[in-house]
Amino acid sequence: MSIIEVSHLTKDYGHGRGVFDVSINVNKGECVGFLGPNGAGKTTTIRHLMGFSKPQKGTTAILGKDSWVHAARLQNTVGYLPGEIALPAGITGTGFLKMMKQMRRIQDDSYCQMLLDKFELDPNIGTKQMSLGVKRKLAVVTAFMHDPDILILDEPTSGLDPIMQQIFIDYIVSEKKRGKTIFLSSHIFHEVDATCDRIAIIKDGKIVSHFIADELKERSDKVYRVTFKDEESYRKFTELPYQFASKNPGKLRARVHVHDEKVNQLISDIVKLNIEDFHEFPFTLEDYFMQFYREDRIFEGVK
């Protein structure tokens, strides 16, 4: 049984906005990343999973329990880090943590104290006076203070400085080793690359790609950038039937996507032309992800 399950979730906000027939699951002990550009539908999916919103179609469930039906219970047990932090005013961070501890009936303070030390958070100031980073840290500590088995994190490192981001990533990796089940949304390739076993990419409310991180890294195709000395060479090259990642007539430069077995063909084609420069770029997760930010797909084959 999947621990986290989104099944054919649809929420249509009109004008093409929302999520449409989204299905994704997270098995026990897995970390799954949810990547996608702004407005793609990450938060909408996560809010349904947490039971804050009722699906128009489809279901979301945690530990086999429908999120909407069991919202109160799962909001109390799952470690949830919202994308936007709304803290109550007129209270200090310490007061807020105390309130959350009472709500969750936490007796042992040691795990919370460990988190405060790890994230270097001094919660003894009013929530109104907190900088964005301090608010985010407080939300992180609040999400994890009861040492939950299931973590659902919406862009967890946004607002954290690079050192804190790394501390957070290390923490997620160590929590995964402790057997936690994690679903996180992100824009940061390095973050998902370092933490996730599987990655789903969402765009315009639909899952457009879903893959196992290690399998993608083993791909043997590369991008080559070729710069030409004259316009005629550039034109002849860009008319060849290659899969072009980009064309830049101003700089007489093109990027082409080539599988390993076709590299010899590429070289025999370009040596006939007047080349200025030839450069190889290894495949990266970032390249793969970037294609979904651009309108036209560059890479094919992994879906």
Ligand X SMILES: Nc1ncnc2c1ncn2[C@@H]1O[C@H](COP(=O)(O)OP(=O)(O)OP(=O)(O)O)[C@@H](O)[C@H]1O
CA distance 233 to 210: 39
Q: Which is nearer to ligand X, 155 or 221 (CB)?
A: 155
Question: Pattern 66-85, binding to Mg ion, x per CB under 5 A?
Answer: -----------------x--
- Residues near ligand X (CB under 6 A), total: 12
The residue number whose beta carbon is nearest to Mg ion equals 43
Q: How far apart are CA 277 and CA 253, in angstroms?
A: 9
Radius of gyration of the chain (CA): 23
- Cα–Cα distances in angstroms (integers) from residue 16 to residues 19, 44, 294, in the given order: 9, 14, 18
Strands (E) located in 2-76: 4-14, 17-26, 31-35, 57-62, 65-66
Judged by beta carbon distances under 5 to 8 A according to partner kind, the member of ligand X, Mg ion, none in contact with residue 124 is none
Instruction: Pull the structure tokens for residue 146.
Output: 């009861």
3-state secondary structure of 66: strand
- CB closer to Mg ion out of 42 and 255: 42
Q: Which is nearer to ligand X, 96 or 168 (CB)?
A: 168
**Contact window for ligand X (CB under 6 A) among 36-44, 57-65, 259-267, 295-303:** 36-44
Q: Does 293 bind ligand X (CB under 6 A)?
A: no
Choosing from 3, 22, 26, 41, the residue that interacts with ligand X (CB under 6 A) is: 41
The answer to whether 56 contacts Mg ion (rule: CB under 5 A) is: no
Residue 38 contacts which entry, ligand X, Mg ion, none (Cβ below 5-8 A, type-dependent): ligand X
- Quickly count helices (H) and strands (E) in the chain: 11, 14
Per CB under 6 A, does 186 bind ligand X?
Answer: no
* Among ligand X, Mg ion, none, residue 18 binds (CB under 5-8 Å by kind): ligand X
Alpha helices in the chain (DSSP H): 42-49, 71-77, 93-103, 110-118, 132-144, 162-177, 189-195, 213-217, 231-238, 263-270, 285-293
CA-closest candidate to residue 158, choices 182, 137, 128, 181: 137
Report the alpha-carbon distance of residue 118 to residue 30 in Å, rounded: 23
Check if the beta carbon of residue 237 is closer than 8 Å to that of residue 192: no
> Would you count residue 270 as binding ligand X (CB under 6 A)?
no
Residue among 4, 9, 18, 156 that touches ligand X (CB under 6 A) = 18
Q: Is 159 in the site for Mg ion (CB under 5 A)?
A: no
| CB of 191 vs ligand X, minimal distance in Å | 14
Using the rule CB under 6 A, which residue among 58, 83, 95, 133 binds ligand X? 83
Cβ distance to Mg ion smaller for residue 34 or 168: 34
Closest distance to ligand X from the beta carbon of 288 (Å): 18
Pairing type for strands 17-26 and 4-14 reads antiparallel
Subset of 51-70 contacting ligand X (CB under 6 A)? none
Among 6, 44, 130, 258, binds ligand X (CB under 6 A): 44
Neighbours of 41 (CB within 10 A): 25
What is the contact surface with ligand X in residues (CB under 6 A)? 13, 17-18, 36, 38-44, 83
